Amino acid sequence: MTTNAMPNPVEVYEASVKQAQKIIRGVKPNQLSQPTPCSYWTVAGLMAHMVMAPSQLSAFLESGTSPTPGILAKESSLQAFDAATAKALTAAKAPGALAKQHKTPAGELTGAQFMMVVASDLCVHAWDLAKATGQDTKLDPKLVEGSHAVFSPFAQFGRQAGIFGPEVKVPANASAQDNFLGMTGRKP
């Protein structure tokens, strides 16, 4: 992934957050124990992961702390998500934060690249959460396209690390969203 060809990561992240907020807002309390397409998480667990993602982004941008996949936040509310997101955006706007390079389990990434990974993570998990709670699963086509481009180089690593399930084959004429979901191990 090169930062020269990359769209503005802050703008992409903000768009992904907005999409996720809408879906988190639609979760009802009686749905928190329901399963999700991420078989190891309930709705509450998935929401806790979605809160943790911006927290890990902040830590990465502020101090180079390498992300730990699968860690969950203690709180899974929209308020916790909004607070973690605000902190991540503040960290991203600090001078030089997006240019610094740090080690991750997937290799060396700049802050900008990692921000794009987190935005893509929020995009796919927005679909997971919408699917699990009976909400509209149509994702922003620009976010889908960008997320597919971000995750493609990491797909094999993601499968080996248990972050993605096995690739799901989709028809040749499948939509961009279905191709993205299949690549990340989801059944569209």
pLDDT tens for the chain, 188 residues long, are 444 466 899 999 999 999 999 999 999 999 999 999 998 899 999 999 999 999 999 999 998 887 776 667 777 789 999 999 999 999 999 999 999 999 888 889 999 999 999 999 999 999 999 999 999 999 999 999 999 999 999 888 889 888 889 999 999 999 999 999 999 999 99
Residue 104: which CATH number?
1.20.120.450
The tally of domains found in the chain comes to 1
Residue type, 53: A
Q: Domain for residue 186, yes or no? A: no
Bridge partners (DSSP) listed for residue 31: none
Instruction: Specify whether the CB–CB gap between 32 and 44 falls below 8 A.
Output: yes
DSSP letter (8 states) at residue 31: G
Q: Domain for residue 124, yes or no? A: yes
Burial label, 52 (beta-carbon count in 10 A; 0-12, 13-18, 19+): buried
Q: Domain for residue 43, yes or no? A: yes
pTM of this prediction exceeds 0.85: yes
Q: Domain for residue 139, yes or no? A: no
Q: Domain for residue 162, yes or no? A: no
Q: Domain for residue 145, yes or no? A: no
**Residue 70: alpha-carbon gap to chain centroid:** 12
Q: Which residue range(s) make up the domain with 40?
A: 9-134
Instruction: Specify whether the CB–CB gap between 57 and 91 falls below 8 A.
Output: yes
Q: Domain for residue 100, yes or no? A: yes
Q: Domain for residue 146, yes or no? A: no
Compute, in degrees rounded to 10, the torsion defined by CA atoms 40, 154, 108, 129. -40
